[in-house]
Structure 1
Amino acid sequence: MKVAVLGAGAIGAYVGAALCRAGVEVHLVARGPHLAAMRKSGVIVHSPRGDWVAHPHATDDPAEIGPVDHVFLGLKANAYAAARDMVAPLLHEKTTLIAAQNGIPWWYFHKLKGQYEDHRIESVDPGGAVTAALPLERAIGCVVYAATEIESPGVVQHLEGTRFSIGEPDGSISTRCTEFADAMAAGGLKCPVEPDLRNDIWVKLMGNIAFNPISALTRATMAGICRHPGTRGIVAQMMEETVDVARRVGANPQISVERRLAGAERAGEHKTSTLQDLERGRPMELDVLITACVELADLTGAEAPTLRTIAAVADLLSENVA
Structure 2
Amino acid sequence: MKVAVLGAGAIGAYVGAALHRAGADVHLIARGPHLAAMRQHGVRVLSPRGDFTARAHATDDPAEVGPVDFVLLGLKANSYAACGPLIEPLLHDSTAVVAAQNGIPWWYFHRHGGPHDGHRVESVDPGGAVSAVIAPSRAVGCVVYAATELAGPGVVRHLEGTRFSIGEPDRTVSARCSAFGAAMVAGGLKCPVEPDLRNDIWLKLLGNISFNPISALARATMRQMCLHGGTRRVIEIMMTETLAVAEALGCRVGVSIERRLAGAERVGDHRTSTLQDLERGKPLELDVLLAAVVELAEITDVPVPTLRTVHAISDLLALRTAA
- With the shorter chain as reference, the TM-score category is over 0.9
**Cα deviation per residue 1:187-206 (whole Å; 9 max; x = unaligned)?**
11111100011001101111
Number of residue pairs aligned between Structure 1 and Structure 2? 322
> How many angstroms apart in 2 are the aligned matches of 1:296 and 1:171?
20
Distance, in Å, in 2 between the alignment partners of 1:260 and 1:267 is 11
Give the distance between the partners of 1:103 and 1:42, measured in 2 at CA: 30
- Taking the TM superposition and a 5 Å limit, the aligned residue runs for 1:225-244 are 225-244=225-244
User: Between the two proteins, what is the percent identity of the paired residues?
Assistant: 68
Report if aligned partners of 2:211, 2:235 keep a CA contact under 8 Å in 1. yes
The answer on 1:165 being equivalent to 2:156 is: no
Match of 2:267, SS? Answer: coil
Question: What is the aligned partner in structure 2 of residue 124 from structure 1?
Answer: 124
**Corresponding residue for residue 189 of structure 1:** 189
* Deviation by residue 1:139-168 (Cα, 9 ceiling, x = unmatched): 000001111111111111111111111000
Distance in 2 between residues matched to 1:217 and 1:47, nearest whole Å: 29
1:266 is paired with a residue whose SS is helix
| Structure 1 CA distance for aligned equivalents of residues 316 and 3 of structure 2 | 39
CA contact (8 A) 2:160 2:267 kept: no
Q: 2:214 aligns to what?
A: 214
Residue type matched to 1:173 in 2? V
Root mean square deviation, CA, Å: 0.8
Residue in 1 that maps onto 2:174: 174
The match for 1:135 is 135
Partner of 1:264: 264
Measured after TM superposition, the shift of residue 123 of structure 1 is 0.4
The residue matched to 1:283 in structure 2 has which SS?
A: coil
State whether residues 123 and 291 of structure 2, in contact with CA within 8 Å, keep that contact through their aligned partners in structure 1. Answer: yes
Q: Retained in 1: the 8 A contact 2:34–2:153?
A: yes
The 2-side partners of 1:303 and 1:12 are apart by: 36
Secondary structure (helix, strand or coil) at the match of 1:142 reads: strand
In 2: Cα distance, 1:273 partner to 1:171 partner: 29
Counterpart of 2:250? 250
User: Which secondary structure state, in structure 2, belongs to the residue aligned with residue 110 of structure 1?
Assistant: coil
Distance, in Å, in 2 between the alignment partners of 1:39 and 1:217 is 36
Q: TM-score, normalised on structure 1?
A: 0.98
Structure 1 Cα separation of the partners of residues 26 and 101 of structure 2: 20
> How far apart are the structure 2 equivalents of 1:28 and 1:258?
38
CA-CA distance at 1:321 after TM superposition: 2.1
Q: CA deviation at 1:44?
A: 1.2
Q: TM-score, normalised by structure 2?
A: 0.98
Amino acid in the other structure paired with 2:80: Y
**Residue aligned with 2:83, SS:** helix
Q: Whole-Å Cα distance in 1 between the matches of residues 149 and 20 of structure 2? A: 19
Deviations 1:39-77 (A, max 9, x none): 111111111111111111110000011100000000111
Query: How far did 1:212 drift?
Result: 0.8
Equivalent residue for 1:51?
51
Structure 2: tracts of 5 or more residues without a match = none
1:155 is aligned to 155
- What is the alpha-carbon distance in structure 2 between the residues aligned to residue 117 and residue 294 of structure 1? 18
